[in-house]
């Protein structure tokens, strides 16, 4: 069954001067304009196409790929704002509307926002920056330390809200932010904690034993490359530690403590030293 707002694989059933018609099943025949046709397209051939409504609300197919489909989140730029709402560039000829009622903050022309793509009650595709209305904030199936894909969505006094694996919302607390983050940034992250209410606290650093093991190896390699000595100690600033290891001071202290117990290093007042 063909679906609007998604990639479909449809068969060519009729050729006309201005393109071909595809078998849209329950949606009827759908035009693929000539400019989107691959070379040597012929009747009976199946094509992967995206189906959407054009400026006259007619179903049309394209072989171009949108920046996001229904049910997905994307960081899109506002091209125009009028009395209807804000219009966003999502890679299609017809811009995507974000109604005023679906804007977390008033959108401004030229700025970009993280939005969820959905189908409104008229069957048209639309965008919403009120992500909490569309994405779950309860992620009880996640485990502490689990690696996830993050999309930085918005800023608050507590930290940054991020989309987790495209389907959930979580929080990167201010205490976890060791580097500048920007809206729309995609990065690897980790589940720091699943709270009793099911909400997710996130980190951009590895958690638990995996974090210590990984950083311990980096510390030993750094010492080996610098004549067995480093001036980074447990008294060094978080900024100095992050500049070298891209990790937190807390993880660094745990890692050098582990290496000390293993008798891999000696910790002196102004340096750490690699032991033979």
Cα–Cα nearest to 116, from 132, 105, 140, 95: 132
* pLDDT at 81 (0 to 100): 97
Could you tell me where in the chain the CATH 2.40.50.140 domains are found?
A: 7-62, 73-133, 147-203
Non-local (6+) Cβ contacts of 2 within 8 A are 8, 10, 24, 25, 26, 27, 30, 51
- Give the DSSP H or E segment for 272: strand 271-274
Cα–Cα nearest to 222, from 185, 258, 263, 256: 256
List, for residues 228-265, the tens digit of each pLDDT value.
889 988 888 888 888 888 788 888 888 898 888 888 88
* pLDDT at 210 (0 to 100): 72
Q: 208-274 maps to which CATH number? A: 1.10.10.10
Distance of CA 63 to the CA centre of its chain: 24
List, for residues 104-126, the tens digit of each pLDDT value.
999 999 999 999 999 988 878 99
Average pLDDT over residues 188-201: 93
The band of 187, judged by pLDDT with boundaries at 50, 70 and 90, is very high
Q: Whole-angstrom Cα distance, residue 270 to residue 234?
A: 9
* pLDDT at 88 (0 to 100): 98
Paired strand residues for 48: 9
Paired strand residues for 12: 22
Q: Is 26 exposed, middle or buried (0-12, 13-18, 19+ CB in 10 A)?
A: exposed
Q: Output the six-digit token pair for 131.
A: 């992500």
* pLDDT at 132 (0 to 100): 94
The answer to whether residue 207 scores a pLDDT higher than 80 is no
List, for residues 122-177, the tens digit of each pLDDT value.
878 999 999 999 999 999 999 988 999 999 999 989 999 999 999 999 999 988 88
- Give the DSSP H or E segment for 203: strand 200-203
What proportion of the chain, given as a percentage, has pLDDT over 70? 99
Burial 168-196 (b: 16+ CB within 10 A, else e): bbbbbeeebebeebeebeeeebbbbbbee
Phi–psi pair at 194, nearest 5 degrees: -100, 110
Cα–Cα nearest to 150, from 165, 161, 138: 165
Q: Whole-angstrom Cα distance, residue 143 to residue 17?
A: 56
The answer to whether residue 31 scores a pLDDT higher than 80 is yes
86 versus 28: the higher-pLDDT residue is 86
CATH class of 73-133: mainly beta
Average pLDDT over residues 209-213: 74
Could you tell me where in the chain the CATH 1.10.10.10 domains are found?
A: 208-274
Non-local (6+) Cβ contacts of 241 within 8 A are 232, 247, 248, 249, 252
Average pLDDT over residues 205-223: 81
Residue 252, SS3 per DSSP: helix
List, for residues 73-91, the tens digit of each pLDDT value.
999 999 999 999 999 999 9
- Topology of domain 147-203 in CATH is OB fold (Dihydrolipoamide Acetyltransferase, E2P) (2.40.50)
* pLDDT at 167 (0 to 100): 94
Note the CATH architecture for domain 7-62. Answer: Beta Barrel (2.40)
């Amino acid at each position: 069954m063909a679906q609007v707002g998604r990639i479909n694989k449809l068969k060519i059933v009729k050729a006309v001067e201005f393109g071909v018609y595809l078998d849209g099943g329950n949606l009827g025949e759908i035009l693929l304009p000539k400019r989107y046709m691959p070379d040597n397209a012929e009747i009976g051939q199946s094509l992967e196409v995206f189906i959407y409504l054009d400026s006259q609300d007619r179903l049309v197919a394209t072989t171009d790929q949108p920046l996001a489909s229904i049910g997905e989140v994307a960081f899109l730029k506002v091209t125009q704002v009028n009395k209807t709402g804000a219009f966003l560039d999502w890679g299609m000829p017809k811009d995507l509307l974000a109604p005023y009622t679906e804007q977390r903050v008033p959108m401004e022309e030229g700025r970009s926002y993280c939005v969820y793509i959905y189908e409104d009650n008229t069957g048209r595709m639309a965008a919403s920056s009120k992500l909490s209305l569309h994405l779950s904030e309860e992620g009880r199936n996640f485990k502490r330390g689990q690696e996830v894909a993050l999309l930085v969505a918005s800023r608050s006094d507590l930290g940054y809200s991020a989309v987790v694996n495209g389907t959930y919302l979580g929080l990167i607390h201010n205490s976890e932010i060791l580097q500048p983050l920007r809206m729309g940034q995609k990065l690897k992250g980790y589940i720091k904690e699943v709270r009793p209410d099911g909400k997710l606290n996130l980190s951009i650093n590895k958690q638990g034993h995996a974090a210590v093991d990984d950083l311990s190896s980096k510390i030993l390699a750094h010492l080996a490359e610098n004549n067995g000595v480093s001036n980074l100690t447990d008294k060094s600033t978080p900024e100095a530690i992050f500049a070298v290891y891209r990790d937190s001071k807390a993880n660094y202290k745990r890692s050098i403590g582990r290496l000390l117990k293993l008798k891999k290093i000696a910790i002196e007042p102004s340096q750490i030293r690699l032991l033979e």
